[in-house]
Amino acid sequence: MSPLPPAVSAAVAAALGAAPADAVPVGGGSINHAARVTLADGRTVFVKHHPGAPPGAFAAEAHGLAWLAAAGALRTPEVLGVGEEPGARFLALEWIAPATPVDRRGAGATPAERFGRGLAALHRYGAPSFGLDRDNTIGPLPQSNTPCDTWAAFLAERRLLPLTRMAVDGGGLGPATARAIEALAGRLPDLCGPPEPPARLHGDLWSGNAILDADGGPVILDPAVHGGHREVDLAMMRLFGGFPPATFAAYAEDHPLAPGHEDRVELFQLHPLLVHVVLFGGGYAASVERVVRRYA
């Protein structure tokens, strides 16, 4: 048994109405400590916590999960409790029992197709603006979501330019590349393709944030939600792989992409690449430079 820190355990007990009786670590997360927790009343829940979690980050994640769930398109874990006391910050979620390989062999649409169609429905549900009514985080990094009138403006002002400054300040990016990104940001109105309404985006859709439940149904986790261009989620899915061609095919069948979408994939990968430069340093700078050169 690996107990939760006492302060977290007490906060979970107060929020959920039953004390944690057992906690087993869950791997796979990039930032927080995660555990499968059995409560004294027999419920099994998922709890993630971190002593250094920034104030409001778990509350923003809880909001993001509910915002995605409102679309009724893809399953998200139900939020059971959020703790914002310093030293005892946590997020408690419904435990999603993972699929075993045999669960994935169902009749009808495959999990890959279900995910593609669900993502299309999520995007189509839409968002009130390019942005969000609150700020949130991508991984551990805070991000501003103050709405902009156009997607190109949002991508430049709220994503590429702030991340470029962070990457330069952290030493991961040189001034010449930063200037090239600034020039590129000014040309985004010509590069972002035909206008699209704001889509309801997950915002951090690498394969670790999409799991299968015991019925082989897709579940999305750990979002960085905002209203944005739908090709952003698809570009992120391609960046680190892990999503089969059937997912993209099912998506495109339900919600065809605008002409030129293939030429925008790398453009929309620039933001997550910059996030990686800030978090993990120079190794990703070469990828950033390659993308910037391509669109120069």
Q: Judged by CB under 6 A, which stretch of 25-33, 114-122, 143-151, 259-267 contacts ligand ADP?
A: 25-33
Q: How far is the CB of 260 from ligand ADP (least distance, A)?
A: 33
Check 169, 190, 204, 254 and give the catalytic one. Answer: 204
Q: Residue 127 or residue 224: which is nearer to ligand ADP going by CB?
A: 224
Q: Residue 143 or residue 177: which is nearer to ligand ADP going by CB?
A: 143
Instruction: Please tell me the distance from the alpha carbon of residue 288 to that of residue 177, in angstroms, as a whole number.
Output: 8
Instruction: Please tell me the distance from the alpha carbon of residue 61 to that of residue 129, in angstroms, as a whole number.
Output: 19
Q: What residues from 221 to 250 belong to the interface with ligand ADP (CB under 6 A)?
A: 221-222
DSSP codes joined into one string, 101-119? GGGG--SSS-HHHHHHHHH
The position carrying tokens 């109105």 is 189
Question: Is 174 one of the binding residues for ligand ADP (CB under 6 A)?
Answer: no
Q: What does each C-alpha distance from 228 to 59, 79, 142, 182, 248 come to in angstroms?
A: 21, 24, 17, 20, 18
Q: How far is the CB of 48 from ligand ADP (least distance, A)?
A: 5
Question: Is 34 one of the binding residues for ligand ADP (CB under 6 A)?
Answer: yes
Among 82, 93, 160, 173, binds ligand ADP (CB under 6 A): 93
Q: How far is the CB of 178 from ligand ADP (least distance, A)?
A: 28
Question: Is 100 one of the binding residues for ligand ADP (CB under 6 A)?
Answer: no
How many other CB atoms are found less than 10 A from the CB of residue 122? 25
Q: Where are the beta strands (DSSP E) in 116-261?
A: 136-138, 141-143, 199-201, 210-212, 218-220, 226-228
Q: Judged by CB under 6 A, which stretch of 92-100, 160-168, 231-239, 246-254 contacts ligand ADP?
A: 92-100
Q: Residue 48 or residue 226: which is nearer to ligand ADP going by CB?
A: 48
- 133: annotated active-site residue: no
Strand partners, 92: 47, 81
Among 67, 90, 95, 251, binds ligand ADP (CB under 6 A): 95
Would you give the DSSP letter of residue 197?
P
Cβ neighbourhood burial of 47 (10 Å; 0-12, 13-18, 19+): buried
Question: Is 18 one of the binding residues for ligand ADP (CB under 6 A)?
Answer: no
Structure tokens at 96: 């999603």
240's CB contacts (< 8 A; 6+ apart) are 206, 207
Q: Residue 73 or residue 79: which is nearer to ligand ADP going by CB?
A: 79
Question: Is 90 one of the binding residues for ligand ADP (CB under 6 A)?
Answer: no
Tell me if 290 sits within 8 A of 268, measured CB to CB: no
Among 1, 6, 28, 107, binds ligand ADP (CB under 6 A): 28
Q: Under the rule (CB under 6 A), what is the footprint of ligand ADP?
A: 26, 28-32, 34, 46, 48, 77, 93-96, 208, 211, 221-222
